[in-house]
Chains A and B, each alone.
Chain A
Amino acid sequence: MADQTTTQPNASEIRSRMMRGGPGRPGKIEKARDPSRALIRLIPYLKPYTLILVIVFTFIMGSTVLGLIGPYLMGQAIDKFIAVKKISGLATIAIWMLVVFVLGNFCDAASGWMMASVSQKALKGVRHDLFGHLQTLSLKFFDTNTAGELMSRLTNDIDAINQAVSQNVVSLVASVLSMAGILLAMFLMNIWLTLAALAVVPLMLWFTNFVAKYTRKGFRELQKHLGEMTSVTEEAISGQRVIKAFRRNDSVIEAFRKSNQDVYKAGVYANSYALLLMPLTNQLGNLFVITIAGLGGWLALKGLVTIGTIAAFISYGRSFVNPLRQLSNIFNAIQGALAGAERVFEVIDTSPEVDDAPEAAPLDRVHGQVIFKNVQFSYTPEKPIIKNMTLEAKPGEIVALVGPTGAGKTTLVNLLTRFYEIDAGQIRIDGKDIRQIKKDDLRHQLGLVLQDTFLFSASVMDNIRYGRLEASDQEVIDAAKMADADLFIRKLPHSYQTMLSERGSNLSQGQRQMLSIARAILADPSILILDEATSSVDTRTEIRIQNALLRLMKGRTSFVIAHRLSTIQDADLLLVIKEGEIVEKGTHQQLLNQHGFYHHLYLSQFKGEQI
């Protein structure tokens, strides 16, 4: 009997729950808007494995059929030999049973073995495509979808597809096949016993439906309360220091207790129903056996069935009840997977950043003349950010952008890098419209040092080397020295090999900034953009960074955005930007003499110093 009498969740079910980690995910059933389309999209990933898949399904069929023959042979052995006390031939039938079992289990193992590799490789393909496509997407996509949301969507959805492809499809096929086979075998052996046994089916369906209805309701409720608890705890943990300073621990604990209790109640409700399915179907399995034994016994006495048939029926019974129970789970899982696939393909179908100049000739190192001509831009049509801006930076010049928050300074950076495309006008580098340059070529010319320094979870060495991958260790160290970072790096536990944790959170803001400057130094760009590069560090560190930046800016066209006016007084050109327009321009001294907006800003910053 090659049946798997597992009335408990099978290995894969448990594993999948384990891998997902979070409580309360089952029972949340999503439906794809267009399941067949999502399915069709998945097929190409399996196509290279067509032959293997054919073999796998042959094996599944083999294992199912052989699994049905086993109990039949056992029934025969009892009826034809043991019950009538016939010894010759018993050995033969026993050997046949053995053969059937060996083959059946071999087929089972082989199909599982092969399917594991096929499904994981197909999934690898999906992940590959997804990641590859993600990289081609424009910044707008990333700005409109939050990182956390994207992350959870991508990981959970792929996981759902994984479950479906690697397990559910196979169990669906196996379940349907073995149910059909059992039904046929039972009908052939005894029609009355079969009909009686089938009486369990509607009961089972009713139970499953009943339980599923409450489970779904329960989990929806649980999900809601879990969400509430998550926001309470997240706020409490990230705001811990302030909570402590203002002595509000008690009220925070109170709020947590309340939502924790809600989760408990919802959890008891949801899980009481969800976990009920298992014991109930177990009982239905028993009921099946009882019916067959009772009715079978009665029929046997009337001479209508043999004992062997009863034995075989009991065996079949168990393997019939199980797939029946699993079917609804499998359907839900596949539905969820298709919904996940739909979202994954939604990302893959998002049109990539266009390169207007695919045939453009590769760009040599530019001199660094940058011209904005009547540039207009808005993120949303109703709210213009840059209104008709014209400016010129000569090669090697330092251009400083000054102005209140939200004036559009950072937007200019986004436009020059072509993270966003301008609505009207022209941006030219060395006289060439940047839309006529390949994006990669363009960005190779640009060096960015941003306020929000982003470091990778890799060694310090690798993080600096990010600027130029082929740089030697010595070059990295030289760059670090130029950025004034060498000294503190050497004080780190493992010097240049120190691993940075979660985006460099084990370094101070100033240190991270120095690393990102070293990174830019190594990249050796012709045009440099510094967006608030020194704003979150104190003045003495700022001087060091400032000096590092001056070394970096030498011989490059540089755009400097800064709040602190002291840092940009040496700029060749100061542009004062207000509401998307240049309102004043000139050198520091010229602008001071104008007694305009810049003068006002300058005074407010240094007020009190005229001692």
Chain B
Amino acid sequence: MKQVTKLFRFLKPYWKKSVISLVLLTAVVVMDLAIPRLVQRVIDQGVNAQNMQVVVNTFFIMLGISVLDTIFAIGNNNFSVQVGEGVARDMREAIFLKIQSFSFGNLDRLQTGQLMVRLSNDSGVVQRLFQITLRIGTRAPLLMIGSIILMFNTAPQLAVIMLPLLIITSAIIAVFSTKLGPLFLTMQQKLDKLNTVLQENIAGVRVVKAFVRARHEAARFEEANEDFTERNVRVTQLMSTLSPILNFALNIGVVIVIWSGGLQSIRMGNLSTGQIIAFVNYLQTTVVPLLNLVNLANIWAAAIASATRVNEVLDAETEVRDAPDAIVLPNFCRLQIKFENVCFHYNGSTDESVLHGISLTVEPGQKVAILGATGSGKSTLINLIPRFYDASEGRILVDGVDIRKVSQDSLLAQIGIVPQETVLFSGTVRDNIRYGRPDATDEEVVAGAKAAQAHDFILELPDGYETHVEERGTNLSGGQKQRIAIARALLTNPSILILDDSTSSVDVETETKIQSALDTLMKGRTSFIVAQRISTVLKADKIVVIDKGQIAAEGTHRELLQSSPIYQEIFASQLGNGINGS
């Protein structure tokens, strides 16, 4: 509940439209309610009083009201749609902006798929809630209250008898709504489970087949299927009894009106037939909206879940933010980078630290290779330099300035990154190379591609530089994508270069080409290379061996070969029995 009300702020820019929509809705309801009254007039003052004029006049009044009513209804419709769609648009934008502001720590916790769901589906569910509330949610109580008032107005003696009936009906509705909410939630969960099994069997078909697990999977699916069906049957059955129950309540009301009203009309003559008919009409308009209220309760139940997910994104603190008086670094300067006793934990201080006591100085133009096992903290270390994460303890200095005091934008402008996993964007090859510097000329793009050893294969593509890169770059090989990524980094002409080694997924020949492209890229820049292979690090000015979050050794290849047992071990493991550490 609170989760949804929190999102009401999105209604604020539309409060005028919302009010207009509600006013129009009220007008519609009032007019809807006037009609039974006018029908009563036709019967009592027209037919029963033998007055044709009244019948004709009232007919035209009703017709006029109906026309006005239609106009108001259309108006209400348009305004409520505008509000609903507007809220959805603003919510999507807010979520998107928030995601764009996220630093890596935030992204680690939320996966792409989940974020997509929040952006499209969840915002849609909340939108629907707002829209329906503006239409049905308000209409139903208005109609009910109006009808009750008019019932009293038409025949107070009958209306009093109806009160207990209305109270019982409302109680039934309340029970249904509270019961259905959780039922819907569990049903949704069962459905998710069913879909997970299905999904896993499609995506993991090789594993299922290789292990001959079809029967096992079928049993798993059957269980989920059974679970979901059982729950679904219960919910559907409950839903299907609701409307007969409500109708029955309404019907009892009608019987009472006919019987008791009839008696009164005959015995005391204080009730006309027109009144009785009008009363029955109002009874209908009282009970029927209740059914819609139950539905609304369900929409609320769904919206609460969605709103919670939306709020999770919107309320997330962006971890890395610029200081209010952040320093802007000048363009292309040669920077010294210094780690001072840096510690890092991923989730605040509760988690085990990934890095501790890292102190390291890198002079401008130096080439530093970082070597270590999976999970030793290499990638974390380089992610601290562009402030993708902030150090938990200690500090990182650029030319003596704490990077937390520097604007991230100006810091990033100094840094070129070739990430471990190559991400290309939809667009042409040229667009992708130009990604880091959209104003680069075509000549610069070609020069970059040549330096990255990419020019030749690009020319062989169907449309050369204009070849469209498919979603996730599926029409390019891993090695080709990587060389485009190198050209992309090259074009930004960074003073600091970060290469997260990923040549592992390409074959040897391609790797050789990438290697020489990287050599070109690193020339004259402060470079950090996360590497797994000795061959990559041999030429480094400094090799840093990371082990269990600490710097285990630091020095040149020769020095380390002499002094560091870990380095010797890595070296031996890579060269195998072939050319043993010659």
Interface string of B19-58 (1 = CB under 8 A from A): 0000000001000100100110011001110101001101
Report the separation of the CA atoms of residues A102 and B249 in the bound assembly, to the nearest whole angstrom: 10
| A244 CB contacts on chain B under 8 angstroms | 103, 388, 412
| A236 CB contacts on chain B under 8 angstroms | 96, 99-100
A483 contacts chain B at the CB level, 8 A cutoff: no
| A86 CB contacts on chain B under 8 angstroms | 266
B328 contacts chain A at the CB level, 8 A cutoff: no
| B288 CB contacts on chain A under 8 angstroms | 4-6
B180 vs chain A, min Cβ distance (A): 9
Report the separation of the CA atoms of residues A276 and B80 in the bound assembly, to the nearest whole angstrom: 11
B379 vs chain A, min Cβ distance (A): 10
- Taking a contact as CB atoms under 8 Å apart, the answer to whether A242 and B423 are in contact is yes
B506 vs chain A, min Cβ distance (A): 7
- Taking a contact as CB atoms under 8 Å apart, the answer to whether B252 and A98 are in contact is yes
- Taking a contact as CB atoms under 8 Å apart, the answer to whether B576 and A15 are in contact is no
A442 vs chain B, min Cβ distance (A): 9
| B222 CB contacts on chain A under 8 angstroms | 128
A573 vs chain B, min Cβ distance (A): 17
B68 vs chain A, min Cβ distance (A): 10
Identify whether the interface residues of A are mostly helix, strand, loop, or mixed. helix
B341 contacts chain A at the CB level, 8 A cutoff: no
Q: Scan residues 498-538 of chain A and give those whose CB is less than 8 A from a CB of chain B.
A: 502-503, 505, 508-511, 519, 523, 535-538
| B266 CB contacts on chain A under 8 angstroms | 81-82, 85-87, 90
Closest to B97 in A: A253
Question: Which of A47-55, A113-121, A393-401 contacts the other chain?
Answer: A113-121
CB contact under 8 A between A21 and B121, given known A82-B276, A90-B262? yes
A237 contacts chain B at the CB level, 8 A cutoff: yes
A296 vs chain B, min Cβ distance (A): 8
Q: Scan residues 243-287 of chain B and give those whose CB is less than 8 A from a CB of chain A.
A: 243-245, 247-248, 250-252, 254-255, 258-259, 261-263, 265-267, 273-274, 276-277, 280-281, 284-285
- Taking a contact as CB atoms under 8 Å apart, the answer to whether A275 and B55 are in contact is no
- Taking a contact as CB atoms under 8 Å apart, the answer to whether B78 and A279 are in contact is no
- Taking a contact as CB atoms under 8 Å apart, the answer to whether A539 and B532 are in contact is yes
Interface string of B499-526 (1 = CB under 8 A from A): 0000011111111100000000000000
- Taking a contact as CB atoms under 8 Å apart, the answer to whether B241 and A82 are in contact is no
| B211 CB contacts on chain A under 8 angstroms | 443, 466-467, 519, 523
B27 vs chain A, min Cβ distance (A): 12
B207 contacts chain A at the CB level, 8 A cutoff: yes
- Taking a contact as CB atoms under 8 Å apart, the answer to whether A117 and B299 are in contact is no
Q: Which of B89, B116, B417, B577 has the most CB of A within 10 A?
A: B89
Closest to B188 in A: A19
- Taking a contact as CB atoms under 8 Å apart, the answer to whether B208 and A230 are in contact is no
B73 contacts chain A at the CB level, 8 A cutoff: yes
CB contact under 8 A between A538 and B372, given known A11-B239, A11-B291, A245-B415? yes
Interface size on B, residues (CB 8 A): 187
B200 vs chain A, min Cβ distance (A): 6
Out of B66, B233, B281, which one reaches A283, CB within 8 Å? B66
Q: Scan residues 344-366 of chain A and give those whose CB is less than 8 A from a CB of chain B.
A: none
| B415 CB contacts on chain A under 8 angstroms | 245
- Taking a contact as CB atoms under 8 Å apart, the answer to whether A267 and B88 are in contact is yes
B465 contacts chain A at the CB level, 8 A cutoff: no
B292 contacts chain A at the CB level, 8 A cutoff: yes
Closest to B510 in A: A405
- Taking a contact as CB atoms under 8 Å apart, the answer to whether B374 and A510 are in contact is yes
- Taking a contact as CB atoms under 8 Å apart, the answer to whether B262 and A81 are in contact is yes
Q: Which of B111, B211, B226, B233 has the most CB of A within 10 A?
A: B211
Report the separation of the CA atoms of residues A251 and B255 in the bound assembly, to the nearest whole angstrom: 68
Out of A4, A261, A404, which one reaches B509, CB within 8 Å? A404
Q: Scan residues 133-170 of chain A and give those whose CB is less than 8 A from a CB of chain B.
A: 134-136, 139, 142, 147, 150-151, 154-155, 166
B151 contacts chain A at the CB level, 8 A cutoff: no
- Taking a contact as CB atoms under 8 Å apart, the answer to whether B229 and A121 are in contact is yes
B294 contacts chain A at the CB level, 8 A cutoff: yes
CB contact under 8 A between A314 and B277, given known A21-B121, A563-B508? yes
Closest to B79 in A: A272
Question: Which of B123-131, B156-164, B450-458 contacts the other chain?
Answer: B123-131
- Taking a contact as CB atoms under 8 Å apart, the answer to whether A563 and B538 are in contact is no
- Taking a contact as CB atoms under 8 Å apart, the answer to whether A604 and B512 are in contact is yes
Interface size band for A? 35 or more
B579 contacts chain A at the CB level, 8 A cutoff: yes
A210 contacts chain B at the CB level, 8 A cutoff: no
| A268 CB contacts on chain B under 8 angstroms | 81-82, 85
Q: Scan residues 557-600 of chain A and give those whose CB is less than 8 A from a CB of chain B.
A: 563-566, 569-570, 588
Question: Which of A70-78, A327-335, A372-380 contacts the other chain?
Answer: A70-78
Report the separation of the CA atoms of residues A267 and B78 in the bound assembly, to the nearest whole angstrom: 11
| B200 CB contacts on chain A under 8 angstroms | 456-457, 503
B359 vs chain A, min Cβ distance (A): 23
| B3 CB contacts on chain A under 8 angstroms | none
| B196 CB contacts on chain A under 8 angstroms | 457
- Taking a contact as CB atoms under 8 Å apart, the answer to whether A82 and B214 are in contact is no
- Taking a contact as CB atoms under 8 Å apart, the answer to whether A18 and B298 are in contact is yes
CB contact under 8 A between A233 and B78, given known A21-B124, A457-B200? no
Out of B81, B194, B195, B216, which one reaches A469, CB within 8 Å? B216
Closest to B274 in A: A307
Report the separation of the CA atoms of residues A155 and B557 in the bound assembly, to the nearest whole angstrom: 57
- Taking a contact as CB atoms under 8 Å apart, the answer to whether B243 and A4 are in contact is yes
A102 vs chain B, min Cβ distance (A): 7
Report the separation of the CA atoms of residues A311 and B43 in the bound assembly, to the nearest whole angstrom: 10
- Taking a contact as CB atoms under 8 Å apart, the answer to whether A275 and B507 are in contact is no
| B400 CB contacts on chain A under 8 angstroms | none
- Taking a contact as CB atoms under 8 Å apart, the answer to whether A604 and B203 are in contact is no
Closest to B412 in A: A247
Out of B276, B409, B477, which one reaches A247, CB within 8 Å? B409
Out of B96, B103, B582, which one reaches A256, CB within 8 Å? B96
B316 contacts chain A at the CB level, 8 A cutoff: no
CB contact under 8 A between A297 and B374, given known A11-B294, A74-B280? no
B69 contacts chain A at the CB level, 8 A cutoff: yes
A608 contacts chain B at the CB level, 8 A cutoff: yes
CB contact under 8 A between A6 and B206, given known A120-B232, A241-B419? no
B201 vs chain A, min Cβ distance (A): 7
B135 vs chain A, min Cβ distance (A): 7
CB contact under 8 A between A540 and B62, given known A18-B125, A90-B263? no
Report the separation of the CA atoms of residues A276 and B291 in the bound assembly, to the nearest whole angstrom: 21
- Taking a contact as CB atoms under 8 Å apart, the answer to whether B207 and A105 are in contact is no
- Taking a contact as CB atoms under 8 Å apart, the answer to whether B35 and A286 are in contact is yes
Report the separation of the CA atoms of residues A147 and B200 in the bound assembly, to the nearest whole angstrom: 9
Report the separation of the CA atoms of residues A132 and B217 in the bound assembly, to the nearest whole angstrom: 9
B242 contacts chain A at the CB level, 8 A cutoff: yes
- Taking a contact as CB atoms under 8 Å apart, the answer to whether B533 and A539 are in contact is yes
Question: Which of A36-44, A183-191, A424-432, A444-452 contacts the other chain?
Answer: A444-452
A541 contacts chain B at the CB level, 8 A cutoff: yes
CB contact under 8 A between A6 and B426, given known A404-B507, A610-B579? no
- Taking a contact as CB atoms under 8 Å apart, the answer to whether B273 and A290 are in contact is no
Report the separation of the CA atoms of residues A231 and B415 in the bound assembly, to the nearest whole angstrom: 28
Given contact pairs A237-B116, A563-B506, a sample of 7 additional A-B residue pairs in the complex whose CB atoms are under 8 Å apart: A77-B262, A105-B251, A290-B59, A293-B59, A293-B62, A536-B504, A607-B535
What are 13 pairs between A and B in contact, CB < 8 Å?
A4-B288, A22-B124, A78-B258, A108-B247, A237-B99, A275-B81, A275-B131, A279-B73, A283-B70, A290-B66, A296-B42, A538-B532, A564-B504
The 8 closest A-B pairs by CB, nearest first: A112-B240, A294-B59, A279-B73, A116-B236, A540-B373, A101-B251, A23-B124, A94-B259
